[in-house]
Amino acid sequence: MKKLIPLLIIFILLASFCNASTRPIGMGGAFVAVADDANAVYYNPAGMAFMKSSELVYNYRYHHLEEPVSSYDVAFVTEFLWWHMGLRTHGYDVYDETNVLQSHDFTISYAGLITDQIAIGFNVNASQQNSKRDTITLPFYFSSYKNSTYMDIGLLYKPAKYLSIGIMQHAVRSPYYSGYNDDDPGHIYQPMSAPLNIGIAVYPWDGLLIAIDASKDVDTDNQYWGQNYGFEYTLTDQLVIRSGIAYLHPFANEEYWSQSTIGLSFKVLPGLDLDFAKTNSDNVLTDYLGFRWDF
């Protein structure tokens, strides 16, 4: 417990100035069945149960757009009361000449082993979105405000050393954002996306990881299904390379969205890895930078 307090302080400080998970993004987002580091808090909290040490992860994302967009993601996992506990915060700010869009999320996770091969994990999330308008006659003020609390549940099954299967249901029971909007006075009730993700990860030989995820959202008006494909290969004890591709198919039309990714990791010190990733979607480039600290 004495070790936990200073680490929580670090977690809060990082979150104060910084879905931007660098390592999973480098693999095309295929991480539901991998979930072997603190990024599992978002992708599949059940993976925390198999972790052998505590870990702190920090990720930063920057979009190369006409109006730049940046976001942060910080996650912390440690053993707590026989199982594993995780904390995560994520947020972004989008600015243009007259408006600001802000989004902030906070997650508490808990996970444990059901058997030696099966783990279950739960997330309790709080999400808040604000948009502000700047006018000549009035100071900055909130023009809309939405918040929601919801729960995720994940399972991870490892039938063999070289194989794992994961399932993750985000936003169980399809919760709603609630809030207000100055442009259309009255209370807002907006359904949240509630994707179900299923993944498989294979380790055909030492140093190589291949992962595939499939997702489907059938609980909102914006229904879609997607696929994520990625690999990770350990070249040396100090260098890991990654690559992947992601597809998203809205049900409402025949168009689809795709994103290609590449990633690298460098072991800076024992227990400390520095992660890089870059994505390309419709010629829009996004850079990711992060670190993972095991202790």
> Does residue 277 carry a pLDDT above 60?
yes
- Is 293 inside any structural domain? no
- Is 205 inside any structural domain? yes
> Does residue 262 carry a pLDDT above 90?
yes
pLDDT of residue 158: 97
pLDDT of residue 217: 80
3-state secondary structure of 201: strand
pLDDT of residue 100: 67
> Does residue 170 carry a pLDDT above 50?
yes
pTM comes to 0.84
What single DSSP character describes residue 137?
Answer: S
Average pLDDT of the residues of the chain: 82
- Is 180 inside any structural domain? yes
pLDDT of residue 7: 47
pLDDT of residue 252: 56
- Is 193 inside any structural domain? yes
Tokens 């460098």 found at: 266
- Is 260 inside any structural domain? yes
- Cβ atoms of 226 and 211 within 8 Å: the answer is no
Structure tokens at 204: 């055909």
- Cβ atoms of 167 and 154 within 8 Å: the answer is yes
Percentage of residues in the chain having pLDDT higher than 70? 73
- Cβ atoms of 97 and 66 within 8 Å: the answer is no
Q: Tell me, what CATH number does 162's domain have?
A: 2.40.160.60
- Is 294 inside any structural domain? no
pLDDT of residue 159: 97
- Is 295 inside any structural domain? no
Number of domains in the chain: 1
pLDDT of residue 87: 95
> Does residue 226 carry a pLDDT above 80?
yes
- Cβ atoms of 78 and 84 within 8 Å: the answer is yes
Report in angstroms the alpha-carbon separations of 152 from 79, 119, 174, 221, 266: 20, 14, 10, 20, 32
Nearest residue to 97 via CA among 51, 66, 143 = 66
**285 - beta bridge partners?**
280
Q: What is the pLDDT of residues 231-246, one digit of tens each?
A: 999 999 999 999 999 9
- Cβ atoms of 75 and 87 within 8 Å: the answer is yes
- Is 23 inside any structural domain? yes
Residue-number span of the structural domain to which 153 is assigned: 4-288
- Cβ atoms of 226 and 247 within 8 Å: the answer is yes
